[in-house]
Structure 1
Amino acid sequence: MTEEAPEAERFLALVAAAQEGDPALSPIQAAIMVAADLGIARDSRTFARVLGIEHALALRELNDLAEMAGYLTISKRDPRTLRTFYQPVEDGS
């Protein structure tokens, strides 16, 4: 077993826990939140690349998630590439 496998298992367990905590989250939305919390990805292009999904799908899920209160805030958008930077909402905000 590679060292990467336990990290992947941990990531997937955290995604499942996030979805259990809020069943309204899609698997990709939960993964966006976990990736941001762990510092794996805080922009849409990096998230899409790391997870091996299309950037357009990541953007759609990210935009839907941004409309849900209390999860994340959009900090910057690149109008040319559509790369969107985000950060988790701090507890108590």
Structure 2
Amino acid sequence: MSEGAPDEARFLDLVAEMQAKDSGLTSVQAALLVAAEQGIARDSKAFARIFGMAHALVLRELTTLIETRDLLHVTRRDERTMRLYYELAGGARAVIHE
């Protein structure tokens, strides 16, 4: 993670906790949820940059969380850059606060 980001160990612990609560989540999906909840990244390009991932991979994982899991909600799209801005959906709040 980049400088100024939260403690990496704590972030990884939160990702592991998220996956323990919902075993259907991939590690990237759990990281997206934790990053959204913690205010670390609220758009796909920022997440990809912070975590050194391909934007296409982030978009694929986001699409799963949005379309099939109801865990994230798109708040804005940038058609030119393919950037998706997102926030936690009701399903994610239930998983986080179990």
TM-score of the superposed pair, with normalisation by structure 2: 0.83
Structure 2, unaligned runs of 5 or more: none
SS in 2 for 1:76: strand
1:78 aligns with 2:78: yes
Match of 1:23?
A: 23
Q: Distance in 2 between matches of 1:20 and 1:74?
A: 25
TM-score of the superposed pair, with normalisation by structure 1: 0.87
Deviations 1:11-38 (A, max 9, x none): 0000000001001100000000000000
Identity of aligned residues (%): 48
SS in 2 for 1:10: helix
SS in 1 for 2:7: helix
Bigger RCO (CA 8 Å, 6+ sep): 2
Q: Where does structure 1 differ by over 3 angstroms across 4 or more consecutive aligned residues?
A: none
Q: Distance in 1 between matches of 2:46 and 2:13?
A: 21
Match of 1:40?
A: 40
Question: Which protein shows a greater Rg?
Answer: 1
How far apart are 1:70 and its partner, in Å? 3.9
How far apart are 1:67 and its partner, in Å? 1.6
SS in 2 for 1:60: helix
